[in-house]
Amino acid sequence: MSARDDWWYDEAAGPLVRPYAMVRGRTRPNAPDLHLVTQVRAAAFASDQTSLTVEHREIMALCARPLSVAEVAAYLDVPLVVVKVLLSDLIERGDVLVQTSSPKIPDRDLLQAVLDGVRGI
């Protein structure tokens, strides 16, 4: 926790300075619905990445395989609200693909697959 506390509760500057700076206070006006488990992954052909920030590039590298929004936030060690802004940038550029649908209650076939899967671990 201590490394994180360092920047997250920066006594002198106040909380939120770093994540706020990272996204420069931007909103996500046209952003897709991103939930905790929404799956994201990098597109096969990413556009020119020279204009991207270090954090954006880190996300691109992480998402070489499909991951949830929550996993990206955890691996990047930034709050969810920040990772959602960064992901939205990449989605808008077409560099990250996302399946936008709100979480649905699984149907019987899906539950059966999960049941078999859990039994098998």
Partner 1 sequence: MVFVASELTVPTAVKIVIAGGFGTGKTTMVASVSEIPPLRTEELLTEAGVHVDDLAGIEGKDTTTVALDFGRITINTKVVLYLFGTPGQNRFWFMWDELATGAIGAVVLVDTRRLDSSFPSIDFFEHRGIPFIVAVNCFDGSQNYTVDEVRHALDLDEAIPVVLCDARNRESSKAVLVGLIQHSMNRLAAV
**Residues near partner 1 (CB under 8 A):** 8, 14-16, 19-20, 23, 25-28, 35-41, 43-44, 66, 68, 70-71, 73-75, 79-82, 84-85, 97-99, 102-108, 110-119, 121
Task: Name the minimum Å distance from CB 102 to partner 1.
Answer: 7
Q: In angstroms, give the least distance from the CB of 8 to partner 1.
A: 7
Q: How far is the CB of 51 from partner 1 (least distance, A)?
A: 20
Distance CA 81, CA 62 (A): 18
Of 44 and 54, the one with the shorter C-beta distance to partner 1 is: 44
Residues ≥6 apart with Cβ < 8 Å to 7? 17, 18
Q: Which is nearer to partner 1, 2 or 119 (CB)?
A: 119
Closer Cβ to partner 1, 41 or 57, answer by number: 41
Tokens found for residue 98: 């996302």
Minimum separation from the CB atom of position 69 to partner 1 (A) = 9
Exposed/middle/buried for 111, CB within 10 Å: 0-12, 13-18, 19+? exposed
Compute the distance between CA of residue 100 and CA of residue 102 in angstroms, rounded to an integer. 7
